[in-house]
Structure 1
């Protein structure tokens, strides 16, 4: 058992090191094209596919159990209605997730603990979106399951805000600030983080691609942090998105553009296609799969 744990830690370390000269792939809400978004099956499919990271969204039940659900209501993605906080876990477990066509499936809403236990021992990191209100609860689950090193905490807050809310957790978690590059204070936010902690990465969103940080972000990677871009929606990347790459087969102005502007992580809604493309260019560590 100890030998297996050491192997997993080494594999996770390999994932982190690979990002310095490769591009990591993060599957947005798992492999939601082949399973309901944020379902346990979607995360397992994505991990089996070979992604480096799965992204999920935290929410909480009436009896304070962390579950995986993007929206503030159950209406869009399940056969339930209303807020998850209106239901106990026992009640939540009676609902079923809808697939991409809106059809109800047999997939239940997973708890955060269930997901971390399912991914424990796999060389894949877990990106905790919408988690800022629940850091303490999430930390407790990760400690209980022995998966703290696999989790990426994130939030669109400044360093003083983070320190003010979670002063005792900062040094115990792997953290990634979200920064909107369209804002005038974007560079100041980045510099302040680099002075105080070493973020695992910076997640950048931008509607306009004119930010000076896009032109020169080597000071970030030189400090040991990665650069995370979201290729999923055009509004997050000034139109250099997944659909342009896949539907129009224009890699030059989509994935290639993001990579040329410093991407070491791409969060995508097209994980299968992105993995294949990166491997064709030898920009993804596909050999890691052989070690599983």
Structure 2
């Protein structure tokens, strides 16, 4: 049942009571919290609207985090559905994930070209079969082997419905056609946005799939002009403003076009927050960032939750 958010809480708690209760263990026997045993903070777009509606900026927007590579933490490796669930135990989040393609053209979640850093396998993703990848386990960022498997893009798209918004980072070896095909096949157009790094790529993707939202790098006034020259409608754009904080006036220029801004705090700005205190995340939001793309989504979300408006038109997207 959907209810409006009537207080300054950023999040609405959702308990997945119908899911089976199981416990996961790492290979060494240590327990990992099972997402099916946990409360979750979810976003629902089904029957309410779409990503286009959600990303239509307004002054009562709810500031959010985007979990870079899904938000890995100790025991929870990058680009794993269990990791996405772990983040959603603490905060609603946009989930940023990476897609590569196997030798037999299966789309899997993987950031690197090779398998060695994130799995117990070897070789290039593009040179092995999906059958081989199915036999592997993911490792966390400390190199600890888990019991978690490499997901396919299709599994992630199906999982995310009524849970989170996705941004899909497409590796250079993956044909756009394959991504669009799976988004359409799973009817994920309403909650999956595609990440682009150049204006020609954004223009090509928009031509191929005009219904999809695009994350486009826009860091200055010249790049605002270049986006407008592509004739991609602003209501199909989320502006990734780079890895350095932008002037308030620049963020306001994007807001005037009703565009959400994503500030990449991963890297130096996340490190600054660790060193100087997490309140720095709140200052980024106060300066006009709407979404913080971060390697520390749980900490960043905690720091910005008090900045949510007491009443928001976006509240309808949070479900109980």
User: TM-score under structure 2 normalisation?
Assistant: 0.74
Q: 1:176 aligns with which of 210, 215, 220?
A: 215
Partners of 1:131 and 1:187 lie apart in 2 by 28
Q: Identify the residue that residue 96 of structure 1 maps to in structure 2.
A: 137
Q: Identify the residue that residue 202 of structure 1 maps to in structure 2.
A: 239
> What RMSD, in angstroms, separates the aligned Cα atoms of the two structures?
2.8
Partners of 2:84 and 2:59 lie apart in 1 by 25
Structure 2 gaps of 5+ residues are: 1-43
Partners of 1:63 and 1:176 lie apart in 2 by 28
Q: 1:282 aligns with which of 304, 308, 318?
A: 308
1:271 and 2:309 correspond: no
Structure 1 gaps of 5+ residues are: 1-5, 235-240
1:127 and 2:167 correspond: yes
- Alignment length (residue pairs): 268
Partners of 2:225 and 2:76 lie apart in 1 by 40
Higher relative contact order (CA 8 A, sep 6+): 2
Q: Deviations over 1:247-281 (max 9, x none)?
A: 43152xx3234223320111112222222222233
Q: Identify the residue that residue 46 of structure 2 maps to in structure 1.
A: 8
Q: Identify the residue that residue 223 of structure 1 maps to in structure 2.
A: 257
Q: What is the CA-CA distance between 1:41 and the residue it aligns to?
A: 0.5
Bigger drift between 190-199 and 261-270 goes to 190-199
Q: What is the CA-CA distance between 1:20 and the residue it aligns to?
A: 4.2
Q: Please say if residues 67 and 96 of structure 2, whose CA atoms lie closer than 8 Å, have aligned partners that are also in contact.
A: yes
Q: Deviations over 1:121-177 (max 9, x none)?
A: 32x11011135643221111111111111111111102x4533x4463251211121
Partners of 1:255 and 1:155 lie apart in 2 by 25
Label 1:76 to 1:109 Cα distance change in 2 as closer, same or farther (>3 A): same
Q: Identify the residue that residue 51 of structure 1 maps to in structure 2.
A: 92
> What is the SS of the residue equivalent to 2:84?
helix
Bigger drift between 216-225 and 104-113 goes to 216-225
> What is the SS of the residue equivalent to 2:79?
coil
1:86 and 2:127 correspond: yes
User: TM-score under structure 1 normalisation?
Assistant: 0.81
